[in-house]
Amino acid sequence: VTLAAPEAPTVPALDFVFHPRAIAVAGASRREAMGFNGSMFVSALLEAGFDGPIFLIHPTVGALRGLKAYPRLTEIPDEVDYVISSVQAQFVPQLVEDCIAKGTVRVLHLFTAGFTETGHADRANMEQTVVARAVAAGIRVIGPNCMGLYAPSGRLAMATGQTMEAGPVAMLSQSGFNAQEVVRYGLPRGLRFSKVVSFGNGSDLKAADFFDYFADDPETRVITAYMEGIQDGPRLAGAIRRASATKPTVILKGGRTEAGSRAANSHTASLAGSSQVFDALCRQAGAIRVDSLEDLIDGAVAFQFIRHIAGPRIAFVGGGGGASVTGADALQAAGLELPDLLPDTAQQIAKITPIAGSSVSNPVDSSALFMDEAFEGTVRPCAEAANMDAIVFHMNFGGGAVARRYDVRKRQELIANTFGDLQRETGKPMVVAIRNPITPDSLEQTIQMQELLYHNGIASFASVERAARAIAMVLRRQKLLA
């Protein structure tokens, strides 16, 4: 018997975009880190440790921040395949000519704004002309009016503070702000990214291109998107369908209201299209449509950490009677269920639970959870119970007298390790909701806790309500695929 050779991993067509070999930045300011200009990208790429050369294009100086500068792209002696433009819009036509003349440029990232989104016809014309000219010469354009790429495997970043530790989550975004927010808020929650692309007006490369790319990208397992406009509707619909068929796909569509739609037009020259049509498209494609950036991040966390959940039955555990009641409401309102504890589960927990101020039912609200030795004794029976598909545990730091009794680090490790073990042993998702910290100390503790949870493969959320909505997304996708 001759076995077929394993198929070589396919490299998706746009892979070159995310793996440039030499970068030139036009428009870096002499004043380091003076805000919103090419210097940002220089800082980001240097911190990311981009492993090819970075050249600068500057009219007067010979070097900036240790990087060699040239007055024109065409004067750079090395091959350059990726150009970042932060010059003003009126200088872009010349830069495009230089890119073409250079002969080796494959991608032009136009951070430069001031084109169609201004609403001025002459500027819309200028955008169309320069992009058409570049594309005709075989150069792909990202933008204009965007932040470009964050891609750990290419050692690319669009801002400082973006880790080179890669993960399974991809994002395509018409807003650089929102792309950066998802990374900024996602990282402490344990989100790790394969590729993030901010593509602004999407004059050449657009949502459909990136959906296609992420669908084929072996580094990507979860796809998220922030879109403002519907460009090339039928092609986009097909791309979302293909992406969603193989990978969980979570989409936030800006411009779902008339006011938002006008804002989208001013922002990225986007025509928002009908929200109902887009809704139907997502539903048919099996993509999860969300209404806020918080939900987008939460969905990404859920899909990164929760590979599978057998059903909607949640054991809801934590201290605090009022929090138990409102949390139970939030879980059920999101479509989850809180079955009664089985007699055996209840017995095991009751043995170690004080009768006053605790409740051995579902939710489990027990002061035993605050005693080191009784913590696992309370949550293990819930995790092992035949009638539970997952645990949602709620907690916070800095909440008054009780918190001061503990060695915080020891307690953090106890919780993270116990849930890590239980998740591995039972295959059931363990999910932790940490209420928002409101002091610097408790924020530090929350960040530490989230990191420990991440290393144990545990999803964390900022409230039970948000955890509930995110778990419901995973269930919804499983149902759509079933």
- Where in 252-311 is the site for a copy of itself (CB under 8 A)? 252, 254-260, 262-264, 266-268, 291-294
CB of 466 to a copy of itself, least distance (A): 10
**Footprint of a copy of itself on 357-386 (CB under 8 A):** 357, 359, 361-363, 365, 367, 370
Q: Is the dihedral of CA 214, 219, 223, 228 positive or negative?
A: negative
Rounded CA separation 58/72 (Å): 7
CB of 92 to a copy of itself, least distance (A): 11
Task: Note whether 393 binds a copy of itself by CB under 8 A.
Answer: no
Q: Which of 233, 402, 407, 455 binds a copy of itself (CB under 8 A)?
A: 402
**Residues whose CB falls within 8 Å of the CB of residue 436, separated by 6 or more in sequence, listed in order:** 396, 462, 463
Task: Note whether 154 binds a copy of itself by CB under 8 A.
Answer: no
CB of 123 to a copy of itself, least distance (A): 8
Contact stretch for a copy of itself (CB under 8 A) within 159-167, 211-219, 280-288, 416-424: 159-167
**Footprint of a copy of itself on 91-110 (CB under 8 A):** none
CB of 367 to a copy of itself, least distance (A): 7
| Residues 217-256: x where in contact with a copy of itself by CB under 8 A, - otherwise, as a string | ---------x-x-----------------------x-xxx
Structure tokens at 419: 């849930």
**Footprint of a copy of itself on 4-23 (CB under 8 A):** none
**Footprint of a copy of itself on 111-130 (CB under 8 A):** 112-114, 117-118
Task: Note whether 439 binds a copy of itself by CB under 8 A.
Answer: yes
Rounded CA separation 337/331 (Å): 7
| Residues 323-352: x where in contact with a copy of itself by CB under 8 A, - otherwise, as a string | xxxxxxxxxxx---xx--------------
Task: Note whether 322 binds a copy of itself by CB under 8 A.
Answer: yes
Q: Which of 26, 28, 40, 452 binds a copy of itself (CB under 8 A)?
A: 40
Is the CB of 76 or the CB of 450 nearer to a copy of itself?
A: 450
Task: Note whether 400 binds a copy of itself by CB under 8 A.
Answer: yes
Task: Note whether 174 binds a copy of itself by CB under 8 A.
Answer: yes
